[in-house]
Amino acid sequence: MGVVIETSVWEPSSSVYIFIFLSCFLSLSLSPFYLSKHAPIRSPPFSDHSTSSSPLRFQRYFLLLYSLASVLEGLWSVYGEFELFYYGLTKEEMVTFMLIGFGATLFVGGFLGFLSDLIGRKKICLVFYILHVIVGIWKRITSSPSFWLANVCLSLATSIFSFSFETWAVVEHDKQGHRQDVLNDTFWLMTFFESASLIGSQVIGNWMVGSNLENGIASPSTAAILLAIVGIICMSRDYDGTPQTVMYKDYKVSFYTYILGDRRIWLLACAQTCLHFSIAVFWILWAPTLVADGREVYLGLIYPCVLGARMLGSTLFPWLINASLRTEDCLMYAFTIQALLLSIIAYDYQFTWSGLQEIGVLVTQFSLFHACIGLILPSLARLRTMYVPTELRGGMISLSLAPANAAILFILMQRGYYITIENATMIAFAAVGLFMAAGCMYVLKRWGKQPYQNWHKL
């Protein structure tokens, strides 16, 4: 008598997506009523003026370009490791692939922030789109593309994406004289639209490839080329940006004085470093964590679930920003929650007998982790506006990401080549970093905000 072994593949319930959608809808719908009661003097997030300096016009224009950039960032990761395996890369070569990418981000991308402050933020944003066009064309014209060249280009593009659009938005808001609350709206909308665009990139990638992997594996490159060209055209038509007249010597002196010489900015940079490191560790290990012990899951259905949670977290920002809590308090609590979640995951990864290792509980923890990210990203951007001079913002952000990229390079080398660090240890390191970030926010709150003095625009 034969024995039939039934296997099941875990996937989120459809009610999860409905809950996230309704929660986002209610949060966005009820926010204006909350703001009208708790912030009566607050200017409306979108102006009704029809002039070229209207916040509504610029926000629509900027968010369109930022959403296009987010879709481009997500398109290349839809098939990720599977695409590398399809073209014959071994596991060892994949590790080298990741090391080269983070190395390019560390040693080259780290200087792009300073370059953007010197030559103009919009020019660097254009470079972002041009890099994606180069990668897309390269993958289309070669039957077996060199992933090393594409990897370097995409790593530099990702580095640019991490700071250039934010700094450009801040410069344009400041140039057009918009109020701070309008800029705060732009920050959380960036996180909201980025998350939605990443989900959309997954839909586009799967639709382009379809069921024919042989002929469709390179199809997302066509979409990337078209979207990048649209971005270049849109950026070339309006908003030429502020002409740059900054001398390197003056910029260097100002950076040493107002960035490296301000301990509050060091705390802010440390928090950004720890967050960037924890996010990178999460995306490297989220799939191995879910499929531990040979379990089968639909990763493609979990991905929009966690990004939907990040969308929901971003909608909480306008609520909390007008509450009695300070931004530092919100960040301190959010970092602590994230650290506790990763600590539980690291413990369960090490001791798989724990009942908390069930996939449903893990996905819940992942979603809560990303809901905190949705709140943290606009909050950190707001603090940067409070403490960091606009003319030095790009260099400050790129400098704060350098230690995180160096740490990722180190643990990838130790894990991929020497097998001296376990996955649970990497997650534990990320948790410790988030506890450090919470401590930085606590100290920053105690020191208080003192506007930088004797600062003149470069």
Give the count of beta carbons closer than 10 Å to the beta carbon of residue 50: 8
Distances (CA, A) of 364 to 68, 285, 303, 354: 29, 16, 12, 16
Cβ-contact 219, 227 below 8 angstroms: no
Question: Which parts of the chain register pLDDT below 50?
Answer: 1-7, 40-41, 43-52, 239, 241-242, 353-356, 451-458
Q: Is 25 part of any domain?
A: no
- Of 225, 245, 265, the position where a domain reaches its end is 245
Give the count of beta carbons closer than 10 Å to the beta carbon of residue 436: 15
Same domain, 272 and 215: no
User: How confident is the model over 246-278, as pLDDT tens digits?
Assistant: 678 888 888 998 899 889 999 999 999 999 999
Domain of 305, in residue numbers: 247-452
- Cβ-proximal residues to 93 (8 Å cutoff; 6+ apart), any chain: 84
- Of 210, 226, 245, the position where a domain reaches its end is 245
Q: What does the pLDDT read at residue 245?
A: 59
Q: What does the pLDDT read at residue 192?
A: 96
State the total domains in the chain.
Answer: 2
Q: What does the pLDDT read at residue 54?
A: 62
Q: What does the pLDDT read at residue 66?
A: 95
Distances (CA, A) of 450 to 202, 246, 330, 418: 44, 26, 19, 47
Q: Is 353 helix (H, G, I), strand (E, B) or coil?
A: coil
Rounded CA separation 428/274 (Å):
12
Residue 262 maps to which CATH number?
Answer: 1.20.1250.20
Give the count of beta carbons closer than 10 Å to the beta carbon of residue 85: 14
From the number of C-beta atoms within 10 Å of its C-beta (0-12, 13-18, 19+), residue 324 rates as exposed
Give the count of beta carbons closer than 10 Å to the beta carbon of residue 294: 5
Q: What does the pLDDT read at residue 93?
A: 78
The closest alpha carbon to 269, from 76, 441, 56, belongs to 441
Same domain, 205 and 290: no
Q: What does the pLDDT read at residue 273?
A: 96
Q: What does the pLDDT read at residue 381?
A: 95
Radius of gyration of the chain (CA): 22
Handedness of CA 51, 52, 57, 58 (dihedral sign): negative
- Of 245, 279, 306, the position where a domain reaches its end is 245
Same domain, 120 and 83: yes
Q: What does the pLDDT read at residue 244?
A: 58
Length of the chain: 458
Rounded CA separation 395/60 (Å):
26
The residue to which tokens 């409070």 are assigned = 386
Cβ-contact 83, 370 below 8 angstroms: no
